[in-house]
Amino acid sequence: MTCLGFVGLGRMGAAMAPRLLGDGRDLVVWNRSADRAAPVVAAGATLAATPADVARSAGVVFSMIRDDDAAAEVYEGRHGFLSAPLEGRLFVEMSTLRPATIARLDAALRGRGAALVDAPVSGTVGPARDGRLLALVGARPADLARARPFLDRLCRRIVHAGPVGHGALLKLVVNLPLGVYWQALAEALALGRAGGLEYTAMLDALQDSSAALAVLGLKRPAILGDTQAPAFDLASMQKDLLYILETGSASGVPMPATAAALGTYAAASANGLGAEDSVAIVRFLAEKMTRQA
């Protein structure tokens, strides 16, 4: 029976990792802050001291980490994956990283006899807990076949976009419209507020129109100021938009709308909203623009 590993037990990882327990399978986990691992350890996982220890123990290792800097530490750091024997190991990277970073990690792992499945996901904590994520995968077919039984525990659907790196690129493609949508919604609400419309009236109309994304209803409480736990924090969206702009620049693709949205997320983060839900940008920008009107 394959021993699995899971590295990164933040909001998403903590929801995902317990789904890999069961069927008599061992699960070895690691998180930078060990206390975040306590719930999954209580459910039956074993806590490792380092990412390298996870790689030594597990044949298939999943990771769900914040950004490229965290990936560099987990893979290439002093006690990272690449410091362990890796022959025959399979790594399933589910974080949102730059495609160039995925390419670098893939080359390093291949050089050590291991394989990488690039599988970032679309979805937040609720779908992660229920195994209803959408996996956006870049992988060699044989590697995806090896990972699929475990990805099926985490995801409602797997989209195989192509070779390694295409999953990371597709994730940026998926996240771009959402990030820009909140910017556009903020401008729309600012326009209405400047003329005396109330937020609730505007959101009622928008939600019942062709201008609404499916997620708008779910995000409406947060837009109106509900302090519920963020499903996807503003700082993470800021990071993703930065990666999108950098990737677009490297490909020669101009992205003026994305650049404008990134500027707003950066300003909101500088005003202390980075840990709030990403839709905090809506009220932030709408109220800022209304004050300036």
Q: Which residues contact 47 (CB under 8 A, 6 or more apart)?
A: 28, 29, 30, 34, 37, 41
Q: Can you give the three-state secondary structure of 91-140, one letter per residue?
A: EEECCCCCHHHHHHHHHHHHCCCCEEEECCEECCHHHHHHCCEEEEEECC
Q: Is 239 a catalytic residue?
A: no
Contact status, residue 58 vs residue 45, Cβ threshold 8 Å: no
Structure tokens at 38: 């306590």
Which CA distances in Å does 41 have to 30, 38, 141, 253? 10, 5, 32, 45
- Comparing CA positions, the residue from 267, 263, 236 lying closest to residue 70 is 236
The four Cα atoms 51, 55, 60, 66 give a dihedral, to 10 degrees, of: 20
DSSP readout, 67-99?
Answer: SHHHHIIIIISTTSGGGS--TT-EEEE-S---H
Catalytic residues: 171
